[in-house]
Structure 1
Amino acid sequence: GGILDVLDCTFEGNSTNLGRAIYNEQGATVNVLDCSFDSHHSSNNKKGAAIRNHGNMTIKNSTFSGNQGARSGGAIYSEGGAMAIELSSFSGNQALFGGAIYATVSPSTMTIEATTFVGNTAAQHGGAITQLFSNLEVSGSTFKRNIAQAEYGGAIGVFDSELVVSDNVFVANKDKTGA
């Protein structure tokens, strides 16, 4: 695996079968700083419209808006890797599961700090984030008007995972049962 630094970039409108701006394979490291990922579309049951991560990834001071994933993770799909997100924003992203982010498979770990999630939508669960069989720590972040249309977790849907939240703000997130 190698190391890739992605600095001060704009990725917009990628729309292919895979639909991704960045694909990070196991054993590699990607560092994203001051970037925007807008209006990416994945089709054909693919995961993560803007980013798919299987390695180690750090995202800082970046924005993700209007991305649409056909299945899991409107903006980001992370499987089995480590991901840290800081000082970033996710708005208007959509997917079947995890409107903005879907993370899965132990020993996957995700840390999110000082990040905003506004107006993301999942057709099933996890309006902003779905976490499955992995660990998630969220601190100092804001979740506002995220929606899980059919099932659970207007803001965060957690399944067979460890979740630690501290100093976050949750406003007007909704799921099928209203929470």
Structure 2
Amino acid sequence: MPTPERTSLTAIVDAGREILESAGPAGLTMQAVAERVGVRAPSLYKRIRDRDALLSAVAAASADALTVRLDAAGDDLPLLAAAYRAFAHQHSEAFRLLFTASAPEDALHRASAPVLRSCTELVGAERALDAARLFTAWATGFLQMELAGAFRLGGDVDEAFEYGMGRILAGLTSS
């Protein structure tokens, strides 16, 4: 009779996401995940090839969680920006992981779909990708700086985000 499975890929990835947020990428080890799911580290290799595959699976699950949030926000670009920012604040390490080589391209394509739909409505299909890149570059740069504590000159960062979003929207809709 085969030995019963003591964990699942879903449990491993969920544990990986939790560890990533609490201990950062350096703390996301096979050993740490094994302890969290209650198995010995060698047991993980039945489900996950190695640490790189673990990081990739965690990044894919994080991108999918972001996609769910963006889809729920609808096609309004400021609402998408707010959902993107909320995700970055609540899952800062996962947000950062999305911009590494560990993030699978197909998961990133899924996450970009809501922004592309919104930009298509704003500027048309011909320029939608350019508009989505402009928005994403601005929002991601702003959030990376915000998460790093780089806005130290005073002022209200929430207001700055709203101002920036307004300027991006005005620029996209002015032509």
Short-chain TM bin: under 0.3
The structure number with the bigger radius of gyration is 2
- Scaled by the length of structure 1, the TM-score of the pair is 0.26
- Scaled by the length of structure 2, the TM-score of the pair is 0.27
Q: Which has the higher helix share?
A: 2
- The answer to which structure, 1 or 2, has the higher relative contact order (CA under 8 A, 6+ apart) is 2
